[in-house]
Amino acid sequence: MSVGYAAAGWNRQKKIYDWLIVGFCVLYLLTFVILTASFNPDYTFETVLIRSTSTLAVLLLHIILSIGPLTRLNKKFLPLLYNRRHLGVTMFCIAAVHGIFSMLQFHTLGNVNPFVSLFTSNTNFNSVASFPFQSLGFFALVILFLMAITSHDFWLHNLSPKVWKTLHMFVYLAYFLIVMHVMLGVIQYETHPVFVIVISLGAGWLIALHLIAGTKEVKKDNQKFNATADDFVYVSETSEFEEGRAKIFCVDKERIAIYKHENKVYAIHNVCKHQGGPLGEGKIIDGCITCPWHGYQYLPHNGQSPPPFTERVSTYDVRVYEGKAWLNPKPCADGTERPGAMIN
């Protein structure tokens, strides 16, 4: 979190993750090159580079798309979510190397503009086996490029969170284009079934993971709460709260996070003002509720970011009676101070 814009929001944790990402990518590429040199010594450097970067980019994309639902299923994966943006930009850079070298290799040897060659060298749009698969990869790369260059808070604030999030949801279209780029490209001549099995397992894993996590969220959203005469609803036993952590309840179509902090419970709106991150899935660090996505912080008793930051979220009234927590789902104005409720 910063007052102004910095080139990238690095801290010690992010630096460690970034080094792990770089180490993994270098290790993967080296392994690929060494194995290829051992088993297929006739392959040219360009071919090895194109193939190694393509497989690495696809692998990273699968990891990136797995992180969101994994964190919803198990909080242990939250640190991965915290650094997902850097992983995404890394994946784009590797995919770009694949794209650039493919263009050099296949479309710069003639006297036709490489981009014209890309779209005119194969126009078999009515054939599945000979479909111009390279154009699918090109469009996927364009989407990844737009996502990569806007992966900064500057763009989030200037495009607005809604536009920014919509743009970044195009990653699912990019994923579909990449799967079809692989299936209509390399699979058509590398006919060993292992390639189809691997790409099918990857797609199956992502589909299953997202559907399981999505269904779990729907169940949470559809949970029924009965209001009392003074509009409070019973939500949970206080013994179920963990110090410094929250439980999330969806009341009247709004998600509310109830945090336990220093023997009191506080309720705030679950959606982070930065990028819509789930505040209830974070934890209290230095006395502040900390968003698991990008570390934005809010004070539990008033939903305000500590000075000099200005973000504010809604707060809610909460009561504790005979070991039971009760919540008033009517939101107070953003940043309104609420005293919380003493547990004992």
Partner 1 sequence: MIKSLRKRHLQIWILSAIILPVGITVAWMAVPKKVTQELLQKVARASTYHTIASVEKGDYKINILAPNSVTTEHPTGWEYELKVEFINKKESATDSLLLYKIIDLTDNNIDKQELLGRIKSKGTQEFRLKFFDLRVTNHKFDYRDKFLLYNIMKKQVVDSINFNR
Residues in the site for partner 1, rule: CB under 8 A?
Answer: 40, 42-47, 68, 105, 109, 128-129, 165, 169, 172, 175-176, 179-180, 183-184, 187-189, 191, 196, 199-200, 203-204, 206-207, 210-211, 214-215, 217-218, 221, 250, 253-255, 271, 276-278
Query: Distances in Å between the alpha carbon of 36 and those of 3, 44, 50, 78, 283?
Result: 48, 10, 12, 36, 46
Q: Tell me how far, at minimum, the Cβ of 196 lies from partner 1, in Å.
A: 5
From the CB of 335, what's the least distance to partner 1, in Å? 19
CB nearer to partner 1: give 122 or 188.
Answer: 188
In this complex, which beta carbon is closest to partner 1, that of residue 159 or of residue 196? 196
User: Least CB distance from residue 217 to partner 1, whole Å?
Assistant: 5
66 or 319: CB nearest partner 1? 66
Q: Which residue has the tokens 């890394």?
A: 90
| Dihedral of the alpha carbons of 243, 244, 247, 250, in degrees to the nearest 10 | 140
Question: Which residue shows structure tokens 């749009």?
Answer: 125
Shortest distance (Å) from residue 77 CB to partner 1:
16
Burial of 248 (0-12, 13-18, 19+ CB in 10 A): middle
14/210 with CB nearer partner 1: 210
Do 178 and 202 form a contact (C-beta atoms < 8 A)?
no
Whichever of 166 and 228 has its CB closer to partner 1, that residue is 166
Q: Are 165 and 280 in contact (CB under 8 A)?
A: no
User: Cβ closer to partner 1: 93 or 203?
Assistant: 203
- What distances in angstroms separate CA 293 from CA 68, 69, 83, 217, 282, one per listed residue? 10, 13, 8, 18, 8
Question: What is the smallest separation between the CB atom of 169 and partner 1, expressed in angstroms?
Answer: 7
Query: What is the smallest separation between the CB atom of 163 and partner 1, expressed in angstroms?
Result: 13
d(CA 318, CA 302): 13
